[in-house]
Structure 1
Amino acid sequence: MSYHVSKHGEIIPMDTRMIISTRYKTITKAVNREFWNSTSETSHSLYVGSYGRGTAVDTSDIDMLVELPKSEYDRFDIYKGNGQSRLLQVVKSAIQTSYPRTDVRADGQVVEISFTDGIKFEVLPAFVSSDWYENVTYQYPDTNMGGNWRSTNPKAEQEAMRSKNNSDYGLLFDTCKHMRYIRDSFFSSYHLSGIVIDSFVYAAIGGWSWSQPSSTSSAPAGDYEKHLYNTYINTYRYASTITAPGSNQTVDLRNSRDCLEKVLYKMTQ
């Protein structure tokens, strides 16, 4: 049996995507009502994580970001004793107005909403900010270690991933999804984060792509997978970090290295 990458299109069924969309809009509306005096189901929110980057294969974690007014940052930043935790509790309460009988809890950096059908949303409250180069980023709360603010740039990551996927005729997304499939099917007891998978494939894919429509591949089967594995061995086997696409933020690689190597080796078989 071959574990090579193949063209397989969407993994998550459309009816499941519709359920996700409905819940996304309900959460967005609840947060907008609380913080923006608005009932919009689409403003001030976006999908992030694997689902937002287009590389998810399951619905166990749907990540979304909700933008809050800058005045809320000023309000909670002056709190003594973990204002970040207080902010999460306020967002949690806002969401509970729409889901009073659902398991909703604040955890670390996000508000988790666990539905009985196995779909879980992780909602990240954030504030628009800018870096030194005037690139738009987001600041979000981290309640760990007494509370602090961290930075993320999901839009840059999504744009970079989509652009590369278009240029290689879908090979980037197919590879990232396939690696998640291999991880979940054979190495589920190991840790390998989605951002590590996406960052690695983005960096390692090089000039490889699916053949253009109406043309055939000139590469022998398995060469692409060997290229990915060899890139890992030669460049990342002993690395402690990897760079996220687009945002260029540093991603910790250490806890994912063992599983990443196992997945890549399995794909060469």
Structure 2
Amino acid sequence: MSLSDDFNTFCNDILLKNRADMETSAGEIAKKLNNVYYDLSSEKEEHMYIVGSVGRESAIKGSSDLDLIFDLPNETYKKFDNYTGNGQSALLQEVKDHLKERYPKTKLRGDGQVVVIEFTNYTVELVPGFKQSDGKFKYPDTHDGGSWKKTDPIPEKEESKNFDIETGGNFLNFCHTIRAWKNKKGFKFSGLLIDTLVYNFFNDNTSYKAVGYDAYLEVLKELFNYLKGLNKQQSYWYALGSNQHVYNTDNGNFIDKAKEAYEEIKDLDEESENINDVLRNLLGTEFPKKEVATEQANLYKGLYTRKYRNTEEFIERKFPVDIRYNLVIDCKVTQDGWRDQWLSAILKQRGLLRINKKLDFYIDYTDAPEPYDIYWKVKNEGEVAIQKDCIRGQVIRTNNKHQKERTDFKGPHYVECYLVKNNVCVARARINVPIGNF
């Protein structure tokens, strides 16, 4: 298969798989609220709006959030606007209590501006809103004593749909691709900001609007080049369709990640021997492996079949991956008679570890709220790992913030850590462990 075919396969494989299930949930929620607030007994679509990434159709496989707005009657607004105290909080509580009747065994909570419903594989964030004459929605904010704010998601949905048609599907394909990159590399990058910046990129580079899959590598390079050139200090961008402010909430971390990605692929082309491996490392295991020539495959099989077992596992095969939080891991390196070192510092100096070092991998920082499960993966790579039949690579739940190891043999090893909430991987981090032969 050609690289063009591989991009085609990848773009289809990462599409959102459970949209029908999400739409069913939205319909059941709408049915309950329509019955309560409008005396409609079985209406599943009226007054309900699917918004966010799912509404813009830019969500991908593994997406863990379904954003909804339910349009409540104006009489309900007047009732809670006239409250003494925090009427916004009282509104969230009332809506939550009504939905608890429909979902008595499901965890629900009011959280700032939304009612959260935690289903098994995704979370619904429902905004109880009031549609205004200009099409915007007024919604409650419980912070600082309570207030009403406005949001304008419908033009964002419409522009996303129309622009995808204008670009022959390229717009959403690259919105999906950037999400896959974010999930693989493990950093926060809001969905609306992704869609807005991809939208801006295609408007600034109109020659790419009508390209086919054979040009996707070139477009990906230029998209990373575009992202890495943005200003980390910029406070916000204007959202596609609505021109609402989309804030730079993570200090432009995505810009540094884009610089790294661009450096990885800038000199590669379709004929590069390792192109698929690089793209799998950037975009995830859904990107196809490169077919190995029969002669080379037979040689590899003859060398390693008797000794080598592929025990590697992938977090993507165990849980949906939707990175929503930051996670940083480091490693304390010790050996009797030697001063303690930190692996992050050794990597910055492009150093190598010696044999017989004790390694204490640990979670250095995360902004993910507990509770969550902690999984670790230790992967040995290189010729020695294959000869010793010790590549490891299993994804193991330990619920321990530390993972103890030691340096036994040379090779380009690595360790990954994953945080899993509500059966979704919401944070991941990786650190390389280069061991030399001293």
**In structure 2, distance between residues paired with 1:260 and 1:233:** 5
Counterpart of 1:196 (choices 193, 196, 213) is: 193
1:167: how far off? 0.5
Counterpart of 2:243 (choices 233, 248, 265) is: 248
- Gap change, CA 1:210 and 1:233, over 3 Å in 2: same
**In structure 2, distance between residues paired with 1:234 and 1:85:** 42
1:224: how far off? 1.8
Q: SS of the counterpart of 1:239?
A: coil
Correspondence list, 1:82-121, <5 A:
82-115=86-119, 117-121=120-124
Q: SS of the counterpart of 2:168?
A: coil
Q: SS of the counterpart of 1:205?
A: helix
User: TM-score, with normalisation over the residues of structure 2?
Assistant: 0.54
Correspondence list, 1:10-89, <5 A:
11-13=15-17, 16-39=18-41, 40-57=43-60, 58-89=62-93
Note if contact 1:67-1:125 (Cα within 8 Å) is conserved in structure 2: yes
Note if contact 1:202-1:245 (Cα within 8 Å) is conserved in structure 2: yes
Structure 1 unpaired stretches of 5+: none
What is the match of residue 230 of structure 1?
A: 225
**In structure 1, distance between residues paired with 2:125 and 2:71:** 14
Note if contact 1:84-1:148 (Cα within 8 Å) is conserved in structure 2: yes
Of Structure 1 and Structure 2, the greater strand share is in 2
- Gap change, CA 1:36 and 1:265, over 3 Å in 2: farther
Aligned residues: 252
**In structure 2, distance between residues paired with 1:159 and 1:239:** 26
More RCO (CA 8 Å, sep 6+): 1
Q: Which moved more, 1:252-261 or 1:242-251?
A: 252-261
1:209: how far off? 2.0
1:33: how far off? 1.0
1:263: how far off? 4.4
Correspondence list, 1:172-211, <5 A:
172-187=171-186, 190-206=187-203, 207=206, 208-211=208-211
**In structure 2, distance between residues paired with 1:93 and 1:263:** 44
1:112: how far off? 0.6
Amino acid at match of 1:48: V
User: How large is the Cα RMSD of the aligned pairs?
Assistant: 2.1
1:168-207 deviation per Cα after TM superposition (whole angstroms, max 9, x unaligned): 11111111111111111112xx321111111111112221
Amino acid at match of 2:209: S
Amino acid at match of 1:266: A
**In structure 2, distance between residues paired with 1:113 and 1:263:** 34
Structure 2 unpaired stretches of 5+: 266-438
Note if contact 1:192-1:256 (Cα within 8 Å) is conserved in structure 2: no
Note if contact 2:232-2:252 (Cα within 8 Å) is conserved in structure 1: yes
Note if contact 2:230-2:255 (Cα within 8 Å) is conserved in structure 1: no
**In structure 2, distance between residues paired with 1:6 and 1:257:** 28
1:235: how far off? 3.9
Note if contact 2:86-2:145 (Cα within 8 Å) is conserved in structure 1: yes
User: Displaced runs of 4+ in structure 1, greater than 4 A?
Assistant: none
User: TM-score, with normalisation over the residues of structure 1?
Assistant: 0.86
- Gap change, CA 1:264 and 1:12, over 3 Å in 2: farther
Amino acid at match of 1:37: D
Bigger Rg over Cα: 2
**In structure 1, distance between residues paired with 2:114 and 2:78:** 19
